[in-house]
Chains A and B, each alone.
Chain A
Amino acid sequence: MIELSQLMVGDQGKIYQIADDLEVKRRLLDLGFTKGSQVECVLSSSFGGPFAYKIKNSVVAIRRGDARKILVERVLG
């Protein structure tokens, strides 16, 4: 079990859990970061900026701090 932020570009994972941070959590759930979903890290940005993940057929960027709140199981792609 690792944090989503630890996935490198090209890595895939399966979402296990999102930390209890109500505001962020509701938002992430709406964007499709739900338990059991497949997720792939597709882009990372400069100056410590956000990562972009492919989830449920769309690409969504979230900040590293928020990505740390999601636990994933690494999946070999």
Chain B
Amino acid sequence: MKYKILLAGNPNVGKSTVFNHLSGENQHTGNWIGKTVDTAMGVFSYRDHDYELYDLPGTYSLNSHSKEEEVARDTVFFFPHDLVVVVVDAISLERNLNLVFQILEYTKQVVVCINLMDEARKKGIEIKTKELSSLLGVRVVLTSARRDEGLEELKEAIYETLEKRNESVYQVSYHPLLEEATCLLEEYLTSLDLPVCSRWLAFRLLIEPESFLVLVSQFLHYNFQEDKHLQNLLFLVRRDWQEKGITRNQLLDFVSEDFSRQQKEVVDAVVEMKQKSSNSFSWDRILTSKKYGIPIMILMLMVVFFLTISFSNYPSELLFSLFARLESFLLSLFSLLHIPSFITSLLVLGVFKTLSWVVSVMLPPMVIFFPMFSLLEDLGYLPRVAFNMDGIFQRCGACGKQALTMMMGFGCNAVGITGTRIIDSKKERLLAILTNSFVPCNGRFPMLIALISMFLLGSSAGVGATLLQMLYLTGFVLFACLMTFFLSYVLSKTLLKGERTSFTLELPPFRKPEILKTIVRSLKDKAFQVLKRAVLVSIPAGILIWIFANVEISDHSILSYVTNFLDPFAQLLGLDGVILTAFFLGFPANEIVIPIMIMSYLATGTMQEYTSFAALKTLFIDHGWTTLTAFCTILFALFHFPCSTSMLTIYHETKSVKWTLLSFVLPLVVGSLLCFLTASIYRIFV
């Protein structure tokens, strides 16, 4: 039998590091706990036992505020498990005890892992483990997970706790009024013989809103709403409080005061400050300064883009030539096996070609961008970005954390959309989801760069040209960001007005990231994701594109009918029928938009690579392209509609057809309008 162990903890306490060090390479991400949020699960063995370790989203308490916290709460309460490891920050133990206390109310089977001991010792903080352990009634282990210290002890503590169950654990005592009511309910609930702690259930029934009652009823297969006796007890208690003039608000105040007083008592008993912490120099004075904060952020983003773009070229070419060889091998294999030529063409030139294209273009930038992003995250820089940007976002009715989801969106919009879970308020989260595709993802960068180089740079070359190219690119990206602000503002004043917003953000100390480990993990993660996605989109896209290009009706391919049909409308937008069709056919992945254009212009029936920008430019100009066409194509590339993966992710996250459709229509309308205006103005004046 495998023991199921939950790993809970506040954000920024190094919980993932503990998770990674415990489970090593044996981990997978998936929908384990039956919620919409994917969690990581790792496996490890210790002393002849196997353990499954589930990494919960970071949370400050089990009173949920955000989607991620709700998942953490529901997992602790409603997902069957054998033990909870609570990872806490040695430096701010007092605040972290809040979560420990809340979990101890639910289960006795807890191990407390006090992490970041290395940092704490530097600050002169010592923790008396034995005292804390006997106070709480559970095993307490000190760790510095980054240095691999204390993790064997943690495994031993888990093992021992599972062997000899904890007898009695620390329980927060409540205000007399609440204590009395809890006891009253507890007595009755115990008689029902439910498989949960009666005191916990009694307390939650008293303080939680109605929605929680429904959840608990489902979980325990017991309908609390129809239990007349229980409802009567609840009614009596509430009437009693009402008579004494006590509101729900005051009740919560009592609870929080009880918790915070007892947190302080415990900390006073077990934490020793050997020296007063000195005020050392803080990087925050520069990184979050009003003057330099935002410029530094933009510079840092530019560096990340530059590295991503310049380092992806070579591996991309390598993959292309590798796939080309594989393709010719497949072709000869198929002909050797006497497979009908149209099947060969469909499978190899349609499906395989699309697959290899998407992988070659998508994989390298993804595996370069996301590790860098993870490094910035581990360093602790990202919360500073949110801090710097919240002022601006707030004025647009949005949340500073949206800056982070936009940054993820530069890598991949689907990742950015999933990332919006860090935003607490529902309204701000929806804003971030709906506008995420306004920032160009890695799939669109190569297209933007190609168009900028061919049509906007002129004939300059060398370092100057590269610099100019980066400037153009930055300009377009900044424009995309401005549009995000503008749209967020408009949406928050129209469709999404009224809902309240809140914003809290911890700024953890800067920490040296585990560079190699982060890179390797991020690489593995992304490579797998990208490959999976490439396969998923390439098969249908490859078949569709092949049919469009190869099935002929009275001597013309379906593709040419479609492009001709769309042409008049596209001309209004400063584009042409081929460009517009390519964007539609590129719905599964923006990477294949330009290859489809080339295929259509050349009428080859299969996607083509271009040998050089010069050759491509000639081809485009031969088919009527001007600088205006290129400019409008860039605008349309920035604002059209999210790719199919992003759309699916949006539906997954919002569970609403309405918002998913809006996220499709919104950028399309904006892009079309911008293109139309640009083209019209250009045609009037030039």
Contact = CB atoms under 8 A, between A and B. Distances in A.
A59 interface: yes
A25 B257 CA distance: 12
Which bucket holds chain A's interface residue count?
A: 35 or more
Given A47-B391, A48-B394, A66 B503 contact: yes
B391 A62 contact: no
Contacts of B284: 42-43, 52
A30 B506 contact: no
Contact of B505 (A30, A32, A61): A61
A34 B503 CA distance: 17
Nearest to A55: B95
B621 interface: no
Interface in A19-73: 20, 22-32, 34-37, 42-50, 52, 55-63, 66
Contacts of A45: 288, 290, 293, 387-388, 390-391
A58 B388 contact: no
Interface residues of B, number: 41
B61 interface: yes
Interface string B491-530: 0000000001011111111000000000000000000000
Interface in B32-68: 60-61, 63, 65
B294 A46 contact: yes
Q: Is the interface of A mostly helix, strand, loop or mixed?
A: mixed
A50 B503 contact: yes
Nearest to A35: B257
B506 A60 contact: yes
Contacts of B506: 31, 58-61
A50 B390 contact: yes
A57 B503 contact: no
A28 B61 CA distance: 11
Contacts of A31: 60, 95, 504, 506
A46 B284 CA distance: 13
A25 B253 CA distance: 9
A50 B387 contact: yes
Interface stretch (B86-94, B107-115, B328-336, B576-584): B86-94
A32 B288 contact: no
A45 B403 CA distance: 15
Contacts of A23: 65, 500, 502
B387 A43 contact: yes
A23 to B, nearest CB: 6
A52 B252 contact: no
A42 to B, nearest CB: 8
A58 B89 contact: yes
A48 B290 CA distance: 10
A60 B92 CA distance: 12
Contacts of A52: 284, 288, 387, 507
A25 B247 CA distance: 15
Contacts of B671: none
Contacts of A60: 504-507
A63 B394 contact: yes
A26 B260 contact: no
B391 A46 contact: yes
A60 B11 CA distance: 12
Nearest to B66: A27
Residue of A28, A42, A47 with most chain B CB atoms under a 10 A cut-off: A47
B272 to A, nearest CB: 14
B147 interface: no
B316 interface: no
B252 A25 contact: yes
Interface string B94-134: 11001000000000000000000000000000000000000
16 contacts: A26-B61, A30-B98, A32-B260, A42-B284, A45-B387, A47-B394, A48-B395, A50-B505, A52-B288, A57-B92, A58-B91, A58-B92, A59-B506, A59-B509, A60-B504, A61-B383
Give the top 7 A-B pairs by smallest Cβ distance, nearest first.
A49-B391, A47-B391, A34-B260, A46-B290, A57-B92, A30-B60, A30-B61
Interface of B: 60-61, 63, 65, 89, 91-92, 94-95, 98, 248-249, 252, 256-257, 260, 284, 288, 290, 293-294, 383, 387-392, 394-395, 400, 424, 500, 502-509
